[in-house]
A and B are shown apart, each in its own frame.
Chain A
Amino acid sequence: MTSVSQSEMLVNPLREGLEVVRSADPCVVVIFGASGDLTKRKLIPALFSLVEQHLIPSAFAVLGVARRPMSHEEFRATQREFIDAERLETEVWKSFESSLFYIPFDFSDASGYQKLTEELQKIDQERGTLNNRLYYLSTPPTAYSEIIKQLGAAHLVAAPGEKYWTRIIIEKPFGHDLESAHALNAGVNAVFNENQVYRIDHYLGKETVQNILVFRFANGIFEPLWNRRYVDHVQITVAETLGVEHRGSYYDGAGAARDMVQNHILQVLSLVAMEPPISLEADTIRDEKSKVLRAIRRIPPQDAFKYSVRAQYGRGFITGETAAAYREEEDVNPQSKTETYAAFKFYIDNWRWAGVPFYVRSGKRLAKRVSEVAIQFKTVPHLLFEQTAADQLEPNVLVLKIQPDEGITLRFGAKLPGQSIHIRWVNMDFRYGASFGVKTPEAYERLIHDCLIGDATLFSRRDTVEQAWNLLMPFLIAWQQSKERELPQYEAGSQGPSEAEALLSAEGRKWRRI
């Protein structure tokens, strides 16, 4: 079985010249864990929006599966919550709603999968969905292995050479460490071929993340500078003002490195550092990303603290309100040693990036919500202008802003008008919102559609997931084995822990202000 559907091989002459190269194949989307929040908050609104954009064919259905007993009608009623009232009133919603179905069963009960088979056959007959299936695992990660095993046992996965397809979307976290990621992947690949597996990282569905590729490879002026000769260092920041909200019990078992760095940040880093792919095929891009992750220097656990900083937020003041300390949050262990801030210094040992540090950081309860990649260039080799207190020579910085205020900024020096030469550092600013007023699609919408048409470019492949874990494991082990009584603390609403400054200051660098 390949993930290339038959419709990709046929050239529909009526499609020529249309913006959408092809719509999704007829299929049933089976959502495991359909009674949960993600289904009604993100998945159903994304699918409905795809229907509104004519990206989903008429032969289509959604089958929700969860333990909670519910009828089709009750399931449909629960899915209305996050659709605007005015869209709910339309005939389009009524038509879409009639394609939503639900069956309750326990994921570990083999007879449930028999029920699932019967229901799917019935839908195929009634709606012409041609035996194509997309399984979406929207369950706690602990259920993944069982569901996958049962799907295999019930022969609900298309074998190679079949005329129909099966794909599966798995939500992060893809394991808790390297060992569990290996085990999960082994279980997945025992039932599904790798090209049927779509590991979703919604961060990659963001327009600005995708724009990194366009920015680098559609512009002739940046790529020649994109290397060790001109770049001094790179900073990648994902800062949040939010605390753990209602995810205390999950987050306390994960922490910032697992929650953000292992997936989002390393994916972004690999897009920034990768070599030009030979085409836009999913695997050619993912091959290049994989090479970057393989080239990142592995740090032995005994050196982990030289290359990383972790910390936890204490009480503080943020967005006009007093914020509780992490250990005071709901469902968090009052003695927790889970990090809410993690910063790393990575080196990519290849010809392009040798000697260029990549500093990455992510934290909760920081001063501002910001996600960005900053490329800091080397300063000029010789100081031509007099340096006074007013004329500090600064480096050029190119900032790719992922959120909020998506855009690109280039910082350069300009002469201050006047008799003598004084330099003022200014920003040349491009903002998506100002130049393109079009509403960007939700990340889930983009990613689900990509999966429905069999495009895996924006999904994580097994090797990159495992490489990312492999890279982080020495740090996670060192942190766990540390005899420190207390983690470094930082005040909620601040720039982060002072210890993080040391990661850069020893080399004469400093973090950008959040």
Chain B
Amino acid sequence: MPPDNSLEKVMTGGSFRVDIASIEDQLRELWKDAATGATAEDESVKPVTRTTVLNLVVFVDSEAAAQEVSALLGDLVEQDPCRAIVITADPKQQGDKMEAWISAHCHRPLPTSKAVCCEQISLRASGNAIRELAASTVPFLLSDLPVFLWWRGPGVFESEIVGKLHGVCDRLIIDSKQFAEPALEFPKLQSFIQATQDRLAVSDMAWHRLRQWRELMAQFFDSPVLFAHLSHIENVVVEFNPRATPGGTVPPQAFLLAGWLASRLGWQLQDSRSTGEGTQFRLKRKHSRTNISILLRPAKAPAELAGHLVSFELSSEKGWSTTFRIARGESPHCAQTEISFGQSPPFRRTVPLPIHTEVELLARQLDIFGHDSIYEEAIAMAARLVDSMK
């Protein structure tokens, strides 16, 4: 049985430790009480509705990260009610042990409606028990609901846990923005995607960060008048706010954006070189001798844009000189789009380009179920780009 004050504690954001073998029984008791409001003495524990539309397994590598994730899940469940299973592999803890806690996240869709609640199971393992984390997680997955594994830590492609869980997961969520060494990790990601093609799809938060850049660039060429210019592009410039990591200052997103553009337009990589400005790739169109240059170069930007893209520009000198440019403006949450033809005054406008929070990015990944072939092609090209720099 849960402790006497467990319902109040859980409904108000707390957790209580449980025996792993009795997690499901404890949760059942808890929700029975919550449904009737049997132990309710104050407003916070009035009868509730439990809703779950998916299983979300989150891997973290420290207790502090587990705390952060719990806070994020509180916001996430308002959009994506789920059974969350947070698994912590904590190498700093002594001994071979595994402990479990249960907690809940509740919110009211409307001030007058019943609270909607989701449950969280937290498993923390140390020492040799870390090897049992995957096997311990599987029994808590709810049948008939999709399973997402969010890997919020390093070493995803080498992990034994991923190897054991990928058979029961539908989707692995990563964030390639966190890749410290893109030159090593993009090829690993590409190999992983190929190796798990039949069983698992990969979602990347960094890909969603690029969505708005991709949308705005695509929008220029939706117009039948401007569409023709797409086949004359000769120069691409991606500007970024540099970061300080052992793997170089170019953020992984810059490679991913360049990979997306080149893969969509069927450009073939010739070579790459470092210039005084930045990193330059030389590509060619199929059946054409014209060279295309993609330049990734650093640019000054406000501190809050560290590791983010600053601008994205496509241009051509053939016939009329044309430029299509998206650049973050004075405000980091806006961008200016600009089309210019020769000497004519450019068409400009300002559009939102918000910097998404981790919860927003995660929520977006939970809406995607199948393989994203466009992403996978972009990754393959990004891997070739970084490989050419060796």
Interface contact A434-B214, CB-CB below 8 Å: no
Chain B interface size band reads 35 or more
Q: Is A232 an interface residue (CB 8 A)?
A: no
Interface contact A25-B222, CB-CB below 8 Å: yes
In the complex, which residues of chain A have a beta carbon less than 8 angstroms from the beta carbon of B216? 54
Interface contact B351-A52, CB-CB below 8 Å: yes
Q: How far is the CA of A295 from the CA of B373 in the complex (A)?
A: 45
Q: How far is the CA of A6 from the CA of B39 in the complex (A)?
A: 64
Interface contact A58-B218, CB-CB below 8 Å: no
Q: Is B120 an interface residue (CB 8 A)?
A: no
| Contact digits for A80-112, partner B, Cβ 8 Å, 1 yes 0 no | 000000000011101110010000000000000
Interface contact A57-B219, CB-CB below 8 Å: yes
Interface contact A92-B81, CB-CB below 8 Å: no
Interface contact A6-B224, CB-CB below 8 Å: yes
- Residue of B79, B221, B223 near A437 (CB, 8 A) is B79
Interface contact B218-A433, CB-CB below 8 Å: no
A261-310 at interface with B (beta carbon < 8 Å): none
> Contacts A14-B217, A51-B351, A57-B223; is A435 near B53 (CB within 8 Å)?
yes
Q: How far is the CA of A25 from the CA of B352 in the complex (A)?
A: 19
Q: How far is the CA of A507 from the CA of B221 in the complex (A)?
A: 61
Q: Smallest Cβ distance from B274 to chain A, in angstroms? A: 28
Interface contact A130-B222, CB-CB below 8 Å: no
In the complex, which residues of chain A have a beta carbon less than 8 angstroms from the beta carbon of B221? 12, 14
| Contact digits for B98-141, partner A, Cβ 8 Å, 1 yes 0 no | 00000000000110010010000000000000000000000000
Q: Is A319 an interface residue (CB 8 A)?
A: no
In the complex, which residues of chain B have a beta carbon less than 8 angstroms from the beta carbon of A12? 218, 221-222, 227, 230
Q: How far is the CA of A18 from the CA of B265 in the complex (A)?
A: 15
Interface contact A437-B352, CB-CB below 8 Å: no
Q: Is B304 an interface residue (CB 8 A)?
A: no
Interface contact A92-B334, CB-CB below 8 Å: yes
> Contacts A14-B264, A58-B339, A437-B109; is A91 near B329 (CB within 8 Å)?
yes
B346-390 at interface with A (beta carbon < 8 Å): 347-352, 372-375
Interface contact B81-A435, CB-CB below 8 Å: yes
Q: Which residue of B lies closest to A17 (CB)?
A: B374
Q: Is A16 an interface residue (CB 8 A)?
A: yes
| Contact digits for A158-196, partner B, Cβ 8 Å, 1 yes 0 no | 000001000000000000000000000000000000000
Q: Is B67 an interface residue (CB 8 A)?
A: no
Q: Is A13 an interface residue (CB 8 A)?
A: yes
Q: Smallest Cβ distance from A434 to chain B, in angstroms? A: 5
Q: Is B49 an interface residue (CB 8 A)?
A: yes
Q: Smallest Cβ distance from A160 to chain B, in angstroms? A: 18
Q: Is B337 an interface residue (CB 8 A)?
A: yes
In the complex, which residues of chain A have a beta carbon less than 8 angstroms from the beta carbon of B109? 431, 433-434, 437
Interface contact A434-B116, CB-CB below 8 Å: yes
> Contacts A92-B334, A127-B347; is A15 near B373 (CB within 8 Å)?
no
A19, A51, A130, A434 — most chain B CB neighbours (10 Å): A434
Q: Is B303 an interface residue (CB 8 A)?
A: no
Q: Smallest Cβ distance from B377 to chain A, in angstroms? A: 9
Interface contact A16-B215, CB-CB below 8 Å: no
Q: Is A413 an interface residue (CB 8 A)?
A: no
Interface contact A7-B373, CB-CB below 8 Å: no
Q: Is A355 an interface residue (CB 8 A)?
A: no
Interface contact A25-B223, CB-CB below 8 Å: yes
Interface contact A59-B223, CB-CB below 8 Å: yes
In the complex, which residues of chain A have a beta carbon less than 8 angstroms from the beta carbon of B81? 434-435, 437
Q: Is A128 an interface residue (CB 8 A)?
A: yes
Interface contact B227-A7, CB-CB below 8 Å: yes
> Contacts A18-B215, A25-B223; is A58 near B347 (CB within 8 Å)?
yes
Interface contact B78-A23, CB-CB below 8 Å: no
Q: Is B300 an interface residue (CB 8 A)?
A: no
Interface contact A91-B223, CB-CB below 8 Å: no
Interface contact A15-B116, CB-CB below 8 Å: no
- Residue of A5, A15, A26 near B218 (CB, 8 A) is A15
Q: Is B212 an interface residue (CB 8 A)?
A: yes
Q: Smallest Cβ distance from A101 to chain B, in angstroms? A: 15
In the complex, which residues of chain B have a beta carbon less than 8 angstroms from the beta carbon of A54? 212, 215-216, 219, 351-352
> Contacts A57-B222, A58-B337; is A90 near B110 (CB within 8 Å)?
no
In the complex, which residues of chain A have a beta carbon less than 8 angstroms from the beta carbon of B217? 14
Q: How far is the CA of A94 from the CA of B349 in the complex (A)?
A: 9
Q: Smallest Cβ distance from A87 to chain B, in angstroms? A: 9
Interface contact B224-A437, CB-CB below 8 Å: no
Q: How far is the CA of A163 from the CA of B224 in the complex (A)?
A: 10
| Contact digits for B332-346, partner A, Cβ 8 Å, 1 yes 0 no | 011001010000000
> Contacts A90-B352, A92-B334, A434-B51; is A16 near B374 (CB within 8 Å)?
yes
| Contact digits for A7-37, partner B, Cβ 8 Å, 1 yes 0 no | 1001011111111101101100000000000
Q: Is B199 an interface residue (CB 8 A)?
A: no
Q: Which residue of B lies closest to A429 (CB)?
A: B49
In the complex, which residues of chain A have a beta carbon less than 8 angstroms from the beta carbon of B331? 90-91
Q: Which residue of B lies closest to A433 (CB)?
A: B109
In the complex, which residues of chain A have a beta carbon less than 8 angstroms from the beta carbon of B266? 13
Q: Smallest Cβ distance from A24 to chain B, in angstroms? A: 8
Q: Which residue of A lies closest to B51 (CB)?
A: A434
Interface contact A52-B218, CB-CB below 8 Å: no
Q: How far is the CA of A108 from the CA of B337 in the complex (A)?
A: 40
Q: Smallest Cβ distance from A432 to chain B, in angstroms? A: 9
Q: Which residue of B lies closest to A98 (CB)?
A: B349
> Contacts A10-B224, A13-B265; is A52 near B352 (CB within 8 Å)?
yes
Q: How far is the CA of A6 from the CA of B261 in the complex (A)?
A: 23
| Contact digits for A42-82, partner B, Cβ 8 Å, 1 yes 0 no | 00000000011010011100000000000000000000000
Knowing that A18-B215, A25-B222, A438-B79 touch, tell me 15 more A-B residue pairs with CB under 8 angstroms: A7-B227, A12-B222, A12-B230, A13-B264, A13-B265, A17-B373, A18-B211, A54-B216, A58-B347, A91-B329, A91-B330, A95-B348, A95-B350, A429-B49, A433-B116
A interface, CB within 8 angstroms of B: 5-7, 10, 12-20, 22-23, 25-26, 51-52, 54, 57-59, 90-92, 94-96, 99, 127-128, 130, 163, 405, 429, 431, 433-438
Name 5 interchain pairs, CB-CB below 8 A, sorted by A.
A7-B223, A17-B375, A19-B211, A23-B215, A435-B51
